């Protein structure tokens, strides 16, 4: 890892706080009138009963290479599926209606786009969706694709439970409500709740929603939800890349614009190569995704569940995470249906 | 203002300079950090003693 990347990774926890804490707390305040049921609601738990295992569908670039939704549908998988916000459109377009969608990021406008944004045409132009690799389908002919997504989410919304962090923007809450998605809330654990002046404690005092470890990103939060709340002891992951496929232009990565602004012609030094021994290929990542990866591995080692990474790509491997093919996991004997 | 902030004791000339330098360094670091914050993750997070879920202190009622 180059010195520049290493110095940013080292500061990532603090930088993430600076970037998101204030906005998360303000969003939680805005959402307060809509916060009724929590992710511990019996309806949330009942939907997982007797389902054996869970698959978390994340929005990493591998989903567009491997198409796990098609494989999950074709296999007749009987377990629970949890999509992250950025993967919902991909799932629905490919015939997979997830049981739950996890939503977390406090961004004021971008997250609503993952659910189809009814206000897109009123918003300032944002080239993010033309640049991003998470769902390239939405980046071309944007307005038409957005309308298509609104229709899809409206059609399936009532069957999908939205597991929403109180940090999400009010526009996202309204979008869930307009799509008649039942909302179940949780507070992210933002800091040490035992220390004086804790933001988490203040948040809890405000709305009394349970607080959950997020891992800093929506995919990790969905995994925590699967084993800690739904009680599955086997959780599979697809699209959990925490990185970019070999050959991806750095201009098409999540943070390129910001990295280029900050580091100019040294921008390439902020990226990190990760050799994946299971795939025998070198993927690359940026400081935020590398921090997510390292944090996830720590969480996985602390968790009591079996974590099976079926992404077939990316940078997430190591102690606490089994790395295998999705087809192997989907074989009836491999999913090992057990619930705590 | 400087007189007010320095308190009721005398500072040696060298010390004064090093405090100024430290303050300048501190400000630069803060500025750098706020610029770098653009690279931060979706959300800050912490994990305490392997606690994945916290439902308030005992006696506090979590809403269902």
Rounded mean pLDDT, B8-22: 65
Of B44, B52, B60, the CB nearest to A224: B52
| The pLDDT value given to residue B5 | 53
Write out pLDDT tens, residues A6-42: 999 999 999 999 999 999 999 999 999 999 999 999 9
Average pLDDT score over chain A: 94
Number of domains in chain A: 1
pLDDT at residue B60 tops 80 = no
Side-chain half-sphere exposure of A163, counting CA atoms within 13 A: 33
Greatest Cα pair distance, chain B, in angstroms, is 62
The burial of A232, by beta-carbon neighbours within 10 Å (0-12 exposed, 13-18 middle, 19 or more buried), is given as: buried
Q: Is residue A161 part of a domain?
A: yes
Q: Is residue A162 part of a domain?
A: yes
Q: Are strands B53-54 and A211-212 parallel, antiparallel or unpaired?
A: antiparallel
pLDDT at residue A134 tops 90 = no
Q: Is residue A340 part of a domain?
A: no
Q: Which of B37, B43, B56, B64 to mutate to test binding with chain A, by most A CBs within 10 Å of its CB?
A: B43
Which tokens is A25 given?
A: 């707390």
Q: Which of A244, A226, A197 is nearest to A300 (CA)?
A: A226
**Strand, helix or coil for residue A179:** coil
Most confident of A139-143, A167-171, B14-18: A167-171
Beta strands, E only, chain A: 54-57, 80-84, 100-103, 161-165, 183-188, 211-212, 234-238, 272-276, 281-285, 306-309, 322-323
For A240, other C-beta atoms within 10 Å of its C-beta total 32
- What is the C-alpha to C-alpha distance for residues A83 and A161, in angstroms, rounded to an integer? 10
| The pLDDT value given to residue A338 | 47
Q: Is residue A336 part of a domain?
A: no
Q: Tell which phi-psi region holds residue A318, choosing left (phi > 0), alpha (psi between -120 and 50) or beta.
A: left
Does B39 sit within 8 Å of A14, measured CB to CB? Answer: no
Write out pLDDT tens, residues A163-209: 999 999 999 999 999 999 999 999 999 999 999 999 999 999 999 99
What radius of gyration do chain B's Cα atoms show? 22
C-alpha distances out from residue A79 to A49, A145, A293, A305, Å: 10, 30, 25, 15
| The pLDDT value given to residue B14 | 63
Contacts of A302 in chain B (CB under 8 A): 47, 50, 52
Residue holding tokens 């796990």? A68
Does B38 sit within 8 Å of A261, measured CB to CB? Answer: yes
What radius of gyration do chain A's Cα atoms show? 19
Percent of chain B, pLDDT > 90?
A: 14
Rounded mean pLDDT, A147-151: 96
Write out pLDDT tens, residues A274-303: 999 999 999 999 999 999 999 999 999 999
- What is the C-alpha to C-alpha distance for residues A113 and A222, in angstroms, rounded to an integer? 19
| The pLDDT value given to residue A340 | 45
Please give the angle made by the CA atoms of A65, A67 and A73, to the nearest 5 degrees.
Answer: 170
| The pLDDT value given to residue A176 | 98
Q: Is residue A249 part of a domain?
A: yes
**Strand, helix or coil for residue A38:** strand
Q: Is residue A339 part of a domain?
A: no
Taking a C-beta distance cutoff of 8 angstroms, is the pair A242, A285 a contact? yes
Of B34, B50, B55, the CB nearest to A18: B34
pLDDT at residue A259 tops 90 = yes
Contacts of B62 in chain A (CB under 8 A): 38, 40, 208-210
pLDDT at residue B61 tops 80 = no
- What is the C-alpha to C-alpha distance for residues A14 and B39, in angstroms, rounded to an integer? 11
| The pLDDT value given to residue A125 | 84
A182 touches chain B (CB under 8 A): no
Q: Is residue A176 part of a domain?
A: yes
Contacting residues for A40 by C-beta, under 8 A, at least 6 apart:
A210, A229, B62, B64
pLDDT at residue A74 tops 90 = yes
Taking a C-beta distance cutoff of 8 angstroms, is the pair A257, A137 a contact? no
DSSP A168: S
Contacts of A259 in chain B (CB under 8 A): 39
Does A104 sit within 8 Å of B43, measured CB to CB? Answer: yes
Q: Is residue A32 part of a domain?
A: yes
Rounded mean pLDDT, B21-48: 82
pLDDT at residue A2 tops 80 = yes
| The pLDDT value given to residue A339 | 46
Domain of A288 in residue numbering reads as 3-330
């Amino acid at each position: 890892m180059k010195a520049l990347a290493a110095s940013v990774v080292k500061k990532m926890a603090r930088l993430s706080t600076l970037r998101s804490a204030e906005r998360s707390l303000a969003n939680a305040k805005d959402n307060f009138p809509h916060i009724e049921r929590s992710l511990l609601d019996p309806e949330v738990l009942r939907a997982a009963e007797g389902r054996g295992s869970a698959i978390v569908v994340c929005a990493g670039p591998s989903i567009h290479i491997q198409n796990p939704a098609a494989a999950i549908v074709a296999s007749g998988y009987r377990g629970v599926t949890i999509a992250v916000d950025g993967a919902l459109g991909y799932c629905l377009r490919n015939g997979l209606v997830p049981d739950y969608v996890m939503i977390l990021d406090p961004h004021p406008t971008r997250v609503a786009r993952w659910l189809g944004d009814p206000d897109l045409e009123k918003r300032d132009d944002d080239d993010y969706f033309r640049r991003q690799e998470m769902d390239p389908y939405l980046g071309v002919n944007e307005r038409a694709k957005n309308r298509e997504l609104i229709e899809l989410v409206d059609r399936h919304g009532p069957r999908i439970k939205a597991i929403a962090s109180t940090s999400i923007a009010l526009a996202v809450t309204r979008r869930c409500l307009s799509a008649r998605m039942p909302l179940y809330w949780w507070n992210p654990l933002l800091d040490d709740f035992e220390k004086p002046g804790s933001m988490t404690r203040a948040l809890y005092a405000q709305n009394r929603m349970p607080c959950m470890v997020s891992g800093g990103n929506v995919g990790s939060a969905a995994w925590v939800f699967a084993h800690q709340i739904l009680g599955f002891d086997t959780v599979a992951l697809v699209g959990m890349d925490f990185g970019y496929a070999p050959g991806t232009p750095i201009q098409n990565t999540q943070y390129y614009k910001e990295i280029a602004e900050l580091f100019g012609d040294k921008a390439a030094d902020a990226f990190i190569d990760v050799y994946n021994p299971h795939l025998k290929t070198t993927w690359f990542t940026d400081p935020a995704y590398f921090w997510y990866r390292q944090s996830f591995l720590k969480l996985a080692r602390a968790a009591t569940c079996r974590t099976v990474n079926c992404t077939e790509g990316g940078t997430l491997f190591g102690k606490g995470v089994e790395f295998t093919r999705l087809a192997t996991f989907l074989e009836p004997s491999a999913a090992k249906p057990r619930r705590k | 203002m400087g007189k007010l902030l320095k308190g009721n004791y005398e500072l040696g000339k060298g010390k004064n300079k090093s405090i100024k330098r430290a303050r300048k360094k501190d400000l630069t670091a803060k500025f750098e950090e706020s610029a770098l914050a653009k690279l931060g993750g979706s959300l800050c997070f912490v994990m305490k003693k392997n606690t994945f879920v916290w439902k308030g202190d005992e006696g506090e009622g979590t809403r269902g």
